[in-house]
């Protein structure tokens, strides 16, 4: 989608300085932060901070959070981010299921869906499954049952938490989540995001901000299934196995599903849904979610996220940024050949880590699977000198202790061979659990707004 209906262009807000202010507002939580503190922590002048915060308040992205005593003079007004002023959908397309989450500007999940899916069922079936799930999630969480779009009137508690509310069954008869959190009250406005045509990392898929508070009268939802009228929806992030072209949103020969080669998934979804779409590999999305998570993410600038589920891949974060490579193909970790003339892999090669690891899992030999995964992790640590290895994916989640211990043992052995004072690269389970990839996919839309990564 190259343009969108309603809202002021968030590119006007996505300057470096505005991103700094927004990120500090988000980090301050419900307690808020004063303009003076914003100026001190960003290095901006008080006048510049006042202009930026005035624009943010005008667009409904910031609000007063009270007053705080000062060392002299009148109490300072403190400001907070309005999390419910914007939302993004994150979709994790796995080989056998689809998981979608709706998150607010804080990254808090306010709605979720999980349905079976065959990635080999054909493009039309898969695209319609994604579009249908996104429509249901938006309708159930952001729109009332009558199909209109209206502001939500549930106040946010002082601690910033979001209370769950019961979600009615959609009119089509599908089964909604038993208790879907509904975003709290606050200025809510129409948002939409154009994708820039130049393909540059810094400028692709940037969210649009609200242009004014939501009118009192509900806005009818378009009859064609477009999500463009959802008042706070920034767009949709989709994460799936690679390889793929992240900049153009075009799939390559997805491992095990070569029929996807050349399919323009981004454009197909934008045409159906009428909102911006960003497509990336599942491992990159998860890694972005970890870097954009603030205090919830790892306290290191360089790490590898290894995802073992129905396949095996890596998300690489180097110097605080997701490393995608010149052709956005970095992280095909599972297709390192470590056994010449080994068993065939679905990629067409033989002896890949993915083939060996999944074969061991299939035999029930988790110790061997962890050892193979550890050999790949050790290669990665030696090549990139990373600080941390994070493990995720449903196979790891089924036996986290076995994988942390097994991968850690291989890295320990490597450290002993090399000597030195630093010791082995630590191994941990990635935060985020089963929906970490889906949450990361939502950050493909949100992270650029806060200067936390290049979602596009």
Strand-strand pairing, 312-318 and 321-322: antiparallel
Give the dihedral sign, CA 152/156/161/167.
negative
Q: Looking at residue 191, what is its pLDDT?
A: 34
Q: Looking at residue 3, what is its pLDDT?
A: 39
Maximum Cα–Cα distance for the chain, whole Å?
77
Q: Looking at residue 74, what is its pLDDT?
A: 79
Strand-strand pairing, 250-251 and 244-245: antiparallel
Q: Looking at residue 375, what is its pLDDT?
A: 96
Cα-based distances in Å from 290 to 109, 212, 240, 251, 339: 15, 32, 17, 24, 32
Q: Looking at residue 344, what is its pLDDT?
A: 95
Q: What pLDDT tens digit does each residue of the chain (456 aa) get?
A: 443 332 233 434 458 899 999 999 999 999 999 999 999 999 999 999 999 999 999 999 999 998 887 766 778 899 999 999 999 999 999 999 999 999 999 999 999 999 999 999 999 999 999 999 999 999 998 875 554 443 333 333 334 333 333 333 344 434 333 333 333 443 333 333 333 333 333 333 333 333 333 223 333 334 467 898 888 999 999 999 999 999 999 999 998 899 999 999 999 999 999 999 999 999 999 999 999 865 556 778 899 999 999 999 999 999 999 999 998 889 999 999 999 999 999 999 999 999 999 999 999 999 999 999 999 999 999 999 999 999 999 999 999 999 999 999 999 999 999 887 678 999 999 998 999 999 999 999 999 999 887 665
Q: Looking at residue 315, what is its pLDDT?
A: 97
Q: Looking at residue 453, what is its pLDDT?
A: 72
The pTM is what?
A: 0.79
SS3 176: coil
């Amino acid at each position: 989608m190259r343009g969108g209906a309603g809202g002021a262009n968030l590119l006007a807000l996505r300057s470096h300085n505005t991103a700094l202010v927004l990120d500090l507002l988000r980090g301050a939580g419900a307690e808020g932060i004063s303009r003076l503190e914003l100026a001190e922590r960003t290095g901006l002048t008080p006048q510049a901070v006042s202009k930026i915060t005035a624009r943010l308040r005008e667009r409904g992205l910031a609000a007063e959070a009270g007053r705080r005593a000062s060392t002299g003079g009148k109490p300072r007004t403190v400001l907070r981010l309005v999390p419910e002023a914007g939302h993004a959908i994150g979709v994790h397309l796995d080989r056998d299921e689809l998981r979608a989450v709706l998150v607010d500007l804080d990254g808090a999940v306010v709605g979720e869906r999980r349905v079976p899916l065959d990635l080999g069922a054909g493009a039309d079936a898969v695209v319609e499954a994604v579009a249908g799930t996104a429509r249901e999630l938006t309708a159930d969480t952001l729109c009332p049952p009558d199909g209109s779009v209206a502001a939500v009137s549930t106040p946010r508690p002082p601690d910033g938490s979001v209370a769950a509310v019961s979600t009615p069954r959609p009119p089509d008869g599908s089964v909604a989540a038993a208790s879907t959190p509904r975003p709290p009250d606050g200025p809510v406005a129409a948002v939409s995001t154009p994708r820039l045509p130049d393909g540059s990392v810094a400028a692709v898929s940037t969210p649009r901000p609200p242009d004014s508070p939501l009118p009192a009268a509900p806005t009818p939802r378009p009859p064609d299934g477009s999500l463009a009228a959802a008042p706070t929806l920034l767009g949709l992030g989709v994460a799936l196995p690679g390889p793929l072209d992240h900049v153009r949103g075009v799939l390559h020969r997805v491992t095990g599903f070569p029929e996807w080669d050349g399919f323009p998934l981004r454009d197909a979804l934008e045409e159906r849904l009428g909102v911006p779409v960003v497509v990336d590999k599942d491992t990159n999305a998860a890694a972005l979610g970890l870097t954009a998570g603030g205090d919830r993410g790892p306290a290191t600038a360089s790490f590898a996220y290894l995802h073992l589920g129905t396949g095996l891949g890596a998300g690489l974060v180097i110097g605080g940024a997701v490393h995608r490579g010149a052709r956005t193909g970095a992280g095909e970790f599972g297709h390192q050949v470590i056994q010449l003339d080994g068993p065939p892999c679905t990629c067409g090669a033989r002896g890949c880590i993915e083939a060996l690891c999944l074969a061991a899992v299939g035999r029930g030999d988790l110790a061997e699977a962890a050892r193979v995964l550890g050999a790949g992790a050790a290669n990665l640590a030696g090549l990139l000198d990373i600080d941390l290895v994070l493990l995720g994916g449903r196979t790891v989640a089924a036996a986290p202790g076995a994988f942390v211990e097994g991968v850690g043992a291989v890295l320990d052995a490597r450290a002993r061979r090399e000597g030195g004072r630093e010791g082995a690269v630590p191994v941990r389970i990635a935060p985020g659990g089963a929906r970490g990839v889906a949450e990361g996919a939502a950050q493909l839309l949100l992270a650029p707004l806060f200067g936390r990564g290049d979602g596009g």
